[in-house]
Amino acid sequence: MDDDLRLVSQPRSPSRYCGCFTLSQESVRPLVFPTPEDVVALVDATMAKPRLASAELFRVLYYDAPPFEGRARNPVDGSILDFSATPQARFNRQLIDRLELKPDFAVRRGMIIHTGWKLGSAALRSLRGRPRAVTAQDFVPDMGQKGVDIRIGLDIARIAVKRTVDIIVMVTGDSDFVPAMKFARTEGVKVYLEPMGHGIRPELKAHGGLRPVGSRAGARGEPLNGR
């Protein structure tokens, strides 16, 4: 799934930065099954970076979609899968419900849709190596997340127009957000990218105003493109 987390921070004095974080569940996926405490620790670690050390956290916006609660019939053996009873659904519900109770957190919800079934990656590797008849276990649900990216873009635009913060911090490597980032910059809001140790795509480099020390976008956390 894709989730995005954003944080907004409020300045302690007019001369200091506010920060707005964005983080998605896709961003925390390397943590496997992250707990709310894992997400809070990521926020705290990011806010402690030199470029943000003088900012006071205003709000964290976490973008996700509640788990799909329906049922579907396997196309091979006809067995029924109850998605609401899966460990993944239980984990996702708990994560969202608990994050909503954390101070300064807000959860923005999209939706999950089930579009059918597809061959899983393990089945595809197996079939490439040795052709055979497919089995029910070869098929996995084909899921899609809707409404998350548009919420992220709209929130960035709203925050930038209202100048709620001076800095938007995005924990992401998704280049789909480049138009929203560019708009924020034209409104005078700086964008700080936290890629969690991964490389930053060229499109994001071009429109991210600040990058963390140690990221591979450049050297020593300077503003990008002279902004």
Displacement of CA 121 from its chain's centroid (Å): 23
Burial of residue 189 (number of CB atoms within 10 Å: 0-12, 13-18, 19+): buried
| pLDDT for position 11 | 42
| More confident call, 209 vs 81 | 81
CA distance 137 to 74: 9
| pLDDT for position 224 | 34
* Percent of the chain predicted with pLDDT > 90: 33
For residue 215, is pLDDT > 70? Answer: no
For residue 83, is pLDDT > 80? Answer: yes
| pLDDT for position 28 | 54
| pLDDT for position 226 | 32
Burial of residue 210 (number of CB atoms within 10 Å: 0-12, 13-18, 19+): buried
CA distance 137 to 173: 33
| More confident call, 56 vs 183 | 183
Which runs of consecutive H residues, i.e. helices, occur in the chain? 25-28, 36-47, 87-100, 121-129, 148-162, 178-186, 202-207
How confident is the model over 27-50, as pLDDT tens digits?
Answer: 555 556 788 998 899 888 888 888
Binned at pLDDT 50, 70 and 90, residue 1 comes out as very low
Look over the chain and give the mean of its residue pLDDT values, rounded to a whole number: 78
How confident is the model over 146-164, as pLDDT tens digits?
Answer: 998 899 899 999 999 988 8
Beta pairing, strands 105-109 & 111-119:
unpaired
Give the mean model confidence (pLDDT) for residues 44-59.
84
CA dihedral 28→30→32→33, nearest 10 degrees, is -10
How confident is the model over 85-143, as pLDDT tens digits?
Answer: 998 899 889 999 999 999 989 999 999 999 999 999 999 999 998 999 999 999 999 99
Q: Which amino acid is at 66?
A: P
Q: What pTM, to 2 d.p., does this model score?
A: 0.76
* Percent of the chain predicted with pLDDT > 70: 70
Burial of residue 150 (number of CB atoms within 10 Å: 0-12, 13-18, 19+): exposed
For residue 19, is pLDDT > 60? Answer: no
